[in-house]
Each structure stands twice: as C-alpha cells, then as structure tokens.
Chains A and B, each alone.
Chain A
C-alpha cells in the first residue's frame, strides 16, 4: 500500500476528543494508578520491625532483665506478651498473638556466674519466612554481642565489620519498590486503555465503518497509540513527581534519560494493548486479557522476587516480559544513577518488542476483518 499510515491524523484527533469527553476514562487513567501508588507505596515495607514477642522469664534476675532489654532495644522485637508458664508461652505463638517466644530458664544467672553456657530458648513462628529469618538473625546477633561483652569486658573487638550500604543507605523499602511499581502501574493503565478503545469501536460498529474507508491499518493503530501514549507519558511524569515529593525517593541519575527511556516501554505496552484488542470481542474480554498480563509482570519481572533466584524456566519467562527491562532502567537510574551507556540494551530490547507487537497487531487486524 502506498500510504501505510493513511488516516493517522484524523484518528488521532478523534481519539483525543474521546478522551476529553469521557471523564470516567480520564479518571481511571490518571487517578487510579495514583491511588494505587499511595496504597502500595505506604503499605509495602519489607523492613521487619516490632515483631510481637512473648517472654517467659523463669529467672527473674537482673541479668535476664538485662538480656531482654537488649532484645527490645534491637527494634526488631516488641516484648508485648508476658507468659507465666510454658503452655501460656506456646499458646501465645499458636494463637498468633506473638510470632516469637523467648524463654529464659531459671538457672540462667547461675550459669553466667559459673562461667558455663547459659541457654536461652528462642522459638520463631516460621510461617512467614522473612519475619522468621529476621528474628533468627537478630536473636543470634544479640546473643553474640552479649557473649563477646562478657568475654572482652574492655569492649575492644578483634574484628570490626563496618558495612556501608550504597545507593539506599537508609534501606528504605519505598526506594526499592516504588520505582518497580511505576512499571506495573503504567502497564495496567496503558494496555487497558488502548485495548478498550479499539474493542469499543468493534462493539459499536464504527470499526466496520472504518474498514470501508481508505484508513490503513497502521494509520488506525498508530493514530490511536499517539494520544494514549501521551496520556501514559503524562501519568508517568505525575507518578515520578509523587515518588520524589511524597515518598522522598531521590533520583540519582538523569530524570531526562529516564523519561526518554520510558518511551520504548510505552511503545511496547501500546503494542500489547493492540494485540489484545484484535483478540478480544467484547470490552469485558479485553479487560480480562489486559489484567491477565499483570500477574506475570508483578511476580516474574524482578519487581518483587529476585530473577536470579528463580528456576531457570521462569528466568526465561522473565526475559520476555517488558516490565523486566523497564524495572531495570527505573532502578538503575533512580537508585544507582546508571547512565545511557549502561542501560541502552534494555531500551533496545523494548524498542524491538514494541515494533514486533505493533506489526503483529496490524497483521492480525488485517487478517481478521476479512
């Protein structure tokens, strides 16, 4: 065909009118992701603090109170329940009132005086693995420092490890999760909006009318992509502003580079939305298919779970998920201040994916209208 993009400008203009005429869509597009950002941004905190802890102190001595004080001072444990028997202690854990139980035996002080090993029992509810891990580590740490303090009363440690955390020194969860969340929110919004827009035309019969006009398939598709791409880009800017101002996540790299590198991701999402729109017959179906893309992106993109820890098969899957690459770009620029030179392969892969998705959508569209 001589004019592969025929009809692009009128479609673009018409789509813009649809968007501004439909406050519902606009609300959905701009406000819902923002609400989700606030919700998730505040809710997700993987730093474990204040684990409810039950204490059964049989010793009731100065030494035992001193030890418990150390546990409390770690900020990891919250000594919220006091048990008077072993049964009471177990019950507190079983009922969920406490996740950790600390039992100091009656002979604790005597062992310390004798210079023999004093045993302190720490029971950890293993049903939440991250809580359990943190509890075990901290308890061991408390015991170790307490022991060393006894062995080396002058306080001079033979080895002093001084860890220094690069990029996220405060270990704030928001710094790690909010950049990833941006990729997910953008994905939900863009794929859904563009897919619905095309399926709506099919449902209402205007698509049939368009196929009778000289509008070219690419003209139709790209004409729809531009307004929704712009909308997605504006939403990205808004989300980034909230991240910076509300969640106080510093951007270590170039914000301009980040915005530039978001373009291939947006392109890919638009392409996926178009492919979905050729498969879905109703808006409800388009909605389901769009939502179906979200779960893999949440779990297999490295947003929550480290890709290196996944079984090989899922590592392979993560490689075909666009969010994987954009999350790398986001975290790279925001957290580590990465440069174009380090991140360009991710952007290149996204660009290829985007073009492939659009061509596939155009192909499916032409085949289907027959």
Chain B
C-alpha cells in the first residue's frame, strides 16, 4: 500500500474524451505512482478502455492532459509506445505461430536486435516459465499459458508501465493466481500496473482502486479508504451480515423489513445496508437469524456508490 510518493508514473488531469455527442470520459483526474498496481473498475462501456487508449496515445483527448513517465500523452505519443506494454483479454497472439515466433515477432516490433533481443527473450521465457512450450503453436496452449505468453510479449521491451485490460477474463483461478504472482514480481521491480478488472478479489489485491461509472471517476483510493468513504456508508446506516437458514428464500422478506436499504445474498448469508435506528426492529423481525455488524466489502462499496448515482440522476 504505497501512496504515490515519487514522481508519478501515470497522471491524468481533467481528461475528457467525446465521440460526437457522447462523452466517453468525463473530467477524469488521477495519479499513479511508480511500481504501484492500480485497479480500475467499472461496468462495461463506462470508459475504461477509452482511458487506456488515450493514455497510450491512440486517442487525442477532447480536453485535459495526461503524462506517462513524465511524457505528454499527446506530444510524445510515439515515444510513449516504446515504454508501455499492453495486454488485453484478446491476448494479441498469433495462434498459428509458435510461442518462440510470437516472442520473436514482438521483440522485432519493439526494435530489439541481436544479443539484447536474445537476452530479453530468455528473461521473459524464464519469468513466465514457458520454455517447455517454445516450439508449440499458440493454438494448442491452454488459456492460462496463452495469458502468460501474452504477458511475456507485452513486457519483451522492458516497459516501465503496463496497461492490462481485463487480463484474466475467462481463465481458471489457479492460472489467475499465477498471473497475479507475476504482476507482483514485476511491480516489485518498479513496473507500474494499470489493470482493469471485473473481479473483486483482484481489485482487493491492488494497491489502489478507481471506480468509473457513466464516464466519471466516482471513487479512488486504497481498499480501506473506499470502505470508509462517506458515500459508501450513508449517515445513520449500518452494514449487517444476517446469518439465517435458507438465506435465498428469506431475501425477499428481508428486503421488506423497515429500515433495510439494500440487501443481497453473500455466500450463505445476507448482506444488508440498514438504518441504524431500526437495528433492534430488524433483530426482532428475524428471531431465528444471527446478525452482526460488518465492514462493507469492496463490492458493497461499488453497489452503494452506483445506486447512489442512479438515485441522484432520477
């Protein structure tokens, strides 16, 4: 949990991107420190990928500015590409080529030559432990190995900043864990990560998290900071874990109780946001339940924030 102490690796300042009438990114500002793993969350279409494209110099912002490693995202777009890596859930690999040929290709694309290229390829192969598959066609690899190779290709040119757009979509938990271990390893070497994800457990691994909704960045901070955000914890409310037999059958009933603002199933219990004053009434209404006051989970925070905005826009 390192707050941005040194010069930031990535900054965005009042970044706004419009496509015709539609504002895809609306006045977004943030700073991400060197070596930080920054998680970026939000529903599909909320502007996550657009921000990545703008930061990588593929899109010119309608207004606002940004920097990567001190370079301006508009003026130095060409130079920035040499210093950032990008990996998406589509892998960006050539399935009919072998692992080795994919690495060769990306090394060539980034202009690596001779012994330097050989060294980097060797390092990446070691890091991702993919050596046994070097001569195998990518089409024959499992999702997890493809993802590792995609990461290998994305870091072949030793970028100091990595943009990962839903990097773990559709792979199994073990492969996900392995990939995150690689992220932490690289982050320890000073590589800055900008990761979009839909997985809450991944978000909770990030040093800091941003949440974008309807093109606006509505929350940013460490997981703890977000858990204690006033907007996520409305005044005079309390978050409850209701352990009750047959939780799913009782959910509808719980939602009708006085003072319950939201309620959802969480494992075998119900998580609810309730008015503080109604706590006793709720306990009385559910005599068979075991009720404890808890901290909101990250998911609770995002749901509350999103509902709050939907409430306001009505």
Q: Given known contacts A1-B78, A205-B88, A370-B59, is B109 in contact with A210 (CB within 8 Å)? A: yes
Do the beta carbons of B109 and A10 come within 8 Å of each other? yes
- The reply on B82 being an interface residue by CB < 8 A is yes
Q: Given known contacts A14-B101, A370-B60, is B108 in contact with A205 (CB within 8 Å)? A: no
Question: Complex formed: what's the CA distance from A211 to B104 in Å?
Answer: 18
- Tell which of A17, A205, A370 touches B97, judged by Cβ atoms closer than 8 Å: A17
Residue of B nearest to A21 (CB): B96
Question: Complex formed: what's the CA distance from A6 to B163 in Å?
Answer: 22
Task: Give chain A residues whose Cβ lies under 8 Å from the Cβ of B93.
Answer: 206
Q: Given known contacts A205-B88, A206-B94, A214-B111, is B105 in contact with A13 (CB within 8 Å)? A: yes
Question: Complex formed: what's the CA distance from A6 to B97 in Å?
Answer: 21
Do the beta carbons of A211 and B91 come within 8 Å of each other? no
Do the beta carbons of A7 and B109 come within 8 Å of each other? yes
- The reply on A369 being an interface residue by CB < 8 A is yes
Q: Given known contacts A205-B88, A209-B88, A370-B60, is B109 in contact with A214 (CB within 8 Å)? A: yes
- The reply on B145 being an interface residue by CB < 8 A is no
Count of B residues near A, CB < 8 Å? 27
Residue of B nearest to A201 (CB): B94
Task: Give chain B residues whose Cβ lies under 8 Å from the Cβ of A210.
Answer: 92, 109
Do the beta carbons of B96 and A206 come within 8 Å of each other? no
Residue of B nearest to A369 (CB): B58
Taking the closest CB of chain B, its distance from the CB of A71, in whole angstroms, is 63
Give the residue among A11, A14, A212 with the most B Cβ atoms within 10 A. A212
Question: Complex formed: what's the CA distance from A33 to B78 in Å?
Answer: 42
- The reply on A208 being an interface residue by CB < 8 A is yes
Do the beta carbons of B90 and A204 come within 8 Å of each other? yes
Tell me the interface secondary structure of chain B in the complex.
loop
* CB within 8 Å of A: which B96-112 residues: 96-97, 101, 104-106, 108-111
Do the beta carbons of A14 and B58 come within 8 Å of each other? no
Do the beta carbons of A212 and B86 come within 8 Å of each other? yes
Question: Complex formed: what's the CA distance from A13 to B90 in Å?
Answer: 22
Residue of B nearest to A11 (CB): B109
- The reply on B95 being an interface residue by CB < 8 A is yes
- The reply on A213 being an interface residue by CB < 8 A is yes
Task: Give chain B residues whose Cβ lies under 8 Å from the Cβ of A204.
Answer: 90, 95
- Tell which of B58, B82, B90, B106 touches A211, judged by Cβ atoms closer than 8 Å: B58
- Tell which of B56, B82, B92 touches A206, judged by Cβ atoms closer than 8 Å: B92
- The reply on B198 being an interface residue by CB < 8 A is no
Size category of the binding interface on chain A: 20 to 34
- Tell which of A6, A18, A211 touches B94, judged by Cβ atoms closer than 8 Å: A18
Do the beta carbons of A22 and B96 come within 8 Å of each other? yes
Do the beta carbons of B111 and A205 come within 8 Å of each other? no
Q: Given known contacts A212-B58, A212-B86, is B108 in contact with A10 (CB within 8 Å)? A: yes
Task: Give chain A residues whose Cβ lies under 8 Å from the Cβ of B108.
Answer: 7, 9-10, 13
Taking the closest CB of chain A, its distance from the CB of B58, in whole angstroms, is 6
- The reply on B81 being an interface residue by CB < 8 A is yes
Task: Give chain A residues whose Cβ lies under 8 Å from the Cβ of B92.
Answer: 205-206, 208-210
Taking the closest CB of chain A, its distance from the CB of B116, in whole angstroms, is 15
Q: Given known contacts A9-B108, A10-B105, A13-B108, is B81 in contact with A214 (CB within 8 Å)? A: yes
- The reply on A139 being an interface residue by CB < 8 A is no
Question: Complex formed: what's the CA distance from A209 to B93 in Å?
Answer: 8
Question: Complex formed: what's the CA distance from A108 to B147 in Å?
Answer: 93
Chain A, residues 192-235, CB within 8 Å of chain B (1/0): the string is 00000000000011101111111100000000000000000000
Taking the closest CB of chain A, its distance from the CB of B20, in whole angstroms, is 13
Residue of B nearest to A2 (CB): B78
Question: Complex formed: what's the CA distance from A370 to B108 in Å?
Answer: 24
Taking the closest CB of chain A, its distance from the CB of B24, in whole angstroms, is 12
* CB within 8 Å of B: which A234-273 residues: none
Q: Given known contacts A13-B105, A17-B101, is B110 in contact with A213 (CB within 8 Å)? A: yes
Taking the closest CB of chain A, its distance from the CB of B62, in whole angstroms, is 12
Taking the closest CB of chain A, its distance from the CB of B311, in whole angstroms, is 35
Question: Complex formed: what's the CA distance from A344 to B93 in Å?
Answer: 44
A positions within 8 Å CB-CB of B: 1-2, 6-7, 9-11, 13-14, 17-18, 21-22, 204-206, 208-215, 369-370
CB-defined A-B contacts under 8 Å, sample of 12: A10-B109, A13-B105, A17-B96, A17-B101, A21-B97, A22-B96, A205-B92, A206-B94, A212-B58, A213-B106, A214-B110, A214-B111
Give the top 7 A-B pairs by smallest Cβ distance, nearest first.
A209-B92, A205-B90, A10-B108, A212-B86, A21-B96, A214-B81, A213-B109
